């Protein structure tokens, strides 16, 4: 960490893989959608999964549609995604340290969300922790893009703070480290599995709290 911690105004968090596990999303993409697809087209679950993964891959995570559940429900003729998502609310699981870290950091910093997940997802993913955040930015819903340098610059303008006054943390090296760091945000790559071999990466959110409060 360079600079004094009192220069920092905002702590920005990615959501999936950072404050909440990917269980909820996995349940939607790889359980509910294949299940409904199988029922709709009279297929076995495994065959439905195989076809759906192929469809997902044909779009890929650099395109906005990939993130839009209703897009897929419409494409596969499965009805309304919002009702289906509500039924999976109990699959939203926070990491063990999440609540305590947010509670602690919220005393000294303005906490914000910078997620690539669309707002219909964030409504579920943030339900129990939303009160800690003063701002929630969805790159896909609010700015029609994945988390690019341009997204982070716009976020800074909306927050009325300089990039170097923002700390961002997230588990995607490109979207949460390379892109925000390129505009001057103090970015931290969260590598919960420790597989990257990156000495500067953090393993859990408690390490960020220690860095900021230490
Ligand atoms: Mg993430």
Q: What is the 3-state secondary structure (H, E, C) of 174-198?
A: HHHHHHHHHCCCEEEEECCCCCCCC
CA distances from 47 to 126, 200, 202 (A): 33, 42, 39
What's the CA-to-centroid distance between 23 and ligand 1, angstroms? Answer: 12
What's the CA-to-centroid distance between 170 and ligand 1, angstroms? Answer: 6
Question: How does pLDDT run across 7-19, given as a tens digit for each residue?
Answer: 999 999 999 999 9
Look at residues 164, 149, 71 and name the one whose alpha carbon lies nearest to residue 114.
149
pTM confidence score: 0.90
What's the CA-to-centroid distance between 21 and ligand 1, angstroms? Answer: 9
Question: How does pLDDT run across 43-95, given as a tens digit for each residue?
Answer: 999 999 999 999 999 998 878 888 889 999 999 999 999 999 999 999 999 99
What's the CA-to-centroid distance between 79 and ligand 1, angstroms? Answer: 27
What's the CA-to-centroid distance between 14 and ligand 1, angstroms? Answer: 6
Per-domain residue ranges for the chain? 5-21+93-213, 23-90
Question: How does pLDDT run across 193-202, given as a tens digit for each residue?
Answer: 998 888 889 9
Please tell me whether residue 10 adopts helix, strand or coil conformation. Answer: strand
Place of tokens 């790559």: 189
- What size, in residues, is the chain? 214
- 199 φ, ψ (degrees, to nearest 5): -65, -25
Question: How does pLDDT run across 23-32, given as a tens digit for each residue?
Answer: 999 999 999 9
What's the CA-to-centroid distance between 41 and ligand 1, angstroms? Answer: 32
Please tell me whether residue 110 adopts helix, strand or coil conformation. Answer: strand
User: In the CATH hierarchy, which fold is given to the domain comprising 5-21+93-213?
Assistant: Rossmann fold (3.40.50)
What's the CA-to-centroid distance between 190 and ligand 1, angstroms? Answer: 9
What's the CA-to-centroid distance between 39 and ligand 1, angstroms? Answer: 31
pLDDT at position 24: 96
């Amino acid at each position: 960490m360079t600079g004094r911690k009192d220069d920092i105004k905002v702590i920005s968090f990615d959501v999936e893989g950072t404050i909440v596990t990917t269980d909820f999303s996995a349940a939607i993409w790889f359980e509910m959608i294949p299940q409904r697809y199988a029922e709709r087209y009279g297929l076995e679950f495994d065959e439905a999964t195989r076809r759906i993964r192929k469809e997902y891959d044909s779009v890929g995570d650099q395109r906005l549609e990939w993130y839009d559940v209703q897009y897929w429900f419409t494409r596969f003729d499965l009805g309304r995604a919002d009702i289906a998502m509500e039924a999976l609310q109990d699959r939203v699981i926070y990491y063990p340290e999440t609540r305590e870290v947010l509670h602690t950091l919220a005393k000294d910093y303005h906490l914000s969300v910078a997620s690539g997940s669309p707002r219909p997802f964030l409504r579920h993913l943030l339900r129990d922790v939303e009160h800690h955040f003063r701002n929630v930015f969805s790159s896909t819903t609010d700015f029609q893009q994945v988390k690019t340098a341009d997204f982070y610059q716009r976020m800074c303008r909306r927050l009325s703070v300089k990039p170097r006054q923002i700390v961002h943390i997230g588990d995607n090296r490109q979207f949460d480290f390379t892109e925000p760091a390129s505009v001057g945000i103090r970015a931290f790559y969260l590598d919960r599995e420790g597989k990257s071999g990156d000495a500067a990466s953090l393993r859990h959110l408690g390490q960020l709290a220690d860095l900021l409060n230490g």
